[in-house]
Chains A and B, each alone.
Chain A
């Protein structure tokens, strides 16, 4: 029986994906207990939102999950639209789906790149994935003028129509991406070290995944075929032909395989959307002062990280009475203490990487 050691990781630590502090109890090299300490990036978002108008809140949501701002915009805007009872033009919904799925690809590329860093093979994977992510950021820049924090999806539709040449450029990019994804697969599955470091590590059983509130790739990595885009359909996802991607074993490698396969699925959705996009308005007529009626709504979307929900209580004024964000990264991170019992400390970092927390969203 060796002596137990308390180890403090973070909050400033390269492999914790942001400002996460972990207090780890070690027995030799084995982890006995992990206590995540969060809140270093807490900005009191829910309180700020109570003192802002509905339109002024959209740019705030960009800073929640800063690597997938489009999804946050969409989740918030969808909740407000449900509260208003607003119908969005079809063209706007198509544009939304295109940018949301491109955002999902960009977010998964970032996650896939940084898992390489966590496993101690810095930059090889990240260099390649960031090459493709850069193109998506360029595309978003042509849409909204920004590379992070787009504020593109607004109440009633989107900010602006697609610029000239956007669709052609996107299609050629997606063709290229398909080949690149094959390269990533070679880089991940054919790399003996990568597979040995992730296969069978941090296994989450389907029953536990549901009971612990996992959503998104973490849940699907455990083989549970659940996705809000299919289950509680929103926008126009039911127009397209696609299927939910799942992993088989619930370990780190199957969560990574879910990212890779979901990128292919997203590319399919974008291609179908671009093929069928109708002409028309890109934004419904909304009055300058948004004043939803009294009421309550809880609406959710499938963000790249899982179930992102906004609960808005309106009291008939221009400010929300209460706004609550159900962030997927917060819930997925709460699984870490259950997953990390009895693993090696190096594997703890790998498990954390596959849970893919973004601290803008965890701390809000």
Chain B
């Protein structure tokens, strides 16, 4: 029995080593703006429109970080340039701050642009994008429901999945899971 356990441990170690090697390979292959610019010239204008950082994961998956103040302006710029399908919003609790990620797909260019916005925990407010994509309506309500992030300018910001009298925001990391008392 012991030897088998050791074997499996060895295997795991080997697998991890292999993974690390793979990781190095991926990092070497990281794409730059120049690589995708011939097929997607809009990337230069995106880079100039006040974004904080760009990370190109694949040739059709681009991650962008935007300041909270510039979000609405940046989103309307995207809408004008063919990013018409609003795929989803998600909130993330990163410990010191929240992050809101918008996934937007362009049906014309066939590219996904994911926009990150950092939101401080003591002032969890961000502009609503419902005026740009009406699809964002329920997604923003859900993010409010789960994280307590307030979307300024949303027409009807109420809880959606949880009951109205629910206390707390369950997907925050400081939300304690408690066993229900059945009696």
Interface residues of A (CB under 8 A from B): 38-39, 42, 44, 46-47, 51, 84-85, 210-213, 215, 224, 226, 231-232, 287-289, 291, 293, 296, 298, 300, 307, 309, 311, 313, 322, 324, 326, 330-331, 334, 338, 363-364
- Name B's interface SS: mixed
Q: Which of B16-46 contact A (CB under 8 A)?
A: 16, 19, 22-23, 26
Q: How far is the CA of A319 from the CA of B117 in the complex (A)?
A: 24
A311 vs B91: C-alpha distance in the bound complex, in angstroms?
A: 11
A313 touches B92 (CB 8 A): yes
Contact A38 B161, CB 8 Å, known A287-B12, A313-B92, A334-B137: yes
Contact A47 B177 (CB under 8 A): yes
Is B177 a contact of A51 with CB atoms below 8 Å?
A: yes
List residues of chain A with CB within 8 A of the CB of B177.
47, 51
Asked if B170 and A311 sit within 8 Å, CB to CB, the answer is no
- A212-B134, A213-B133 are contacts. A309–B87 as well, Cβ < 8 Å? yes
Q: How far does the alpha carbon of A84 sit from the alpha carbon of B11 in the complex, in Å? A: 17
A212 to B177, CA, bound (A): 35
The listed residue (B15, B61, B63, B162) touching A42 by CB distance below 8 A is B162
How many contacts between A and B, using CB within 8 angstroms?
87
> Whole-angstrom distance between the alpha carbons of A227 and B25 in the complex?
32
**Nearest residue, chain B, Cβ from A293:** B23
Tell me the residues in window 130-147 of chain B with beta carbons closer than 8 Å to chain A beta carbons: 133-139, 146
Please, which residue of chain A has its CB at the minimum distance from the CB of B16? A291
Chain B residues with CB under 8 Å of A212's CB are 134-135
Question: Which residue in B84, B90, B103, B136 is a CB contact (below 8 Å) of A210?
Answer: B84
A287 and B15 form a contact (CB under 8 A): yes
* Interfacial chain A residues near B112, Cβ < 8 Å: 232, 298
Question: Do residues B170 and A47 form an inter-chain contact, with CB atoms below 8 A?
Answer: yes
Q: Which residue of the partner chain B has the closest CB to A208? A: B134
B-chain residues with CB within 8 Å of residue A44 when the two chains form the complex: 170
Q: Cβ of A298 and Cβ of B23 under 8 Å apart?
A: no
Indicate if the CB atoms of A298 and B103 lie closer than 8 Å.
yes
With A38-B160, A331-B135 given, name 11 new contacts (CB 8 A).
Answer: A39-B159, A46-B171, A85-B22, A85-B26, A213-B86, A296-B63, A309-B87, A311-B88, A322-B90, A322-B92, A331-B139
Verify B22–A363 contact, CB threshold 8 A: no
Q: Which residues of A are found within 8 Å of B162, using beta-carbon distances?
A: 39, 42
Report yes or no: A364 in contact with B161, Cβ–Cβ below 8 A: yes
Chain A residues with CB below 8 A from B12, complex form: 287, 289
Distance (whole angstroms) from the CB of B89 to the closest CB of chain A: 9
> What is the chain B residue whose CB lies nearest that of A50?
B171
State whether A363 and B161 are in contact (beta carbons under 8 Å apart), knowing that A85-B26, A210-B107, A232-B60 are contacts in the complex: yes
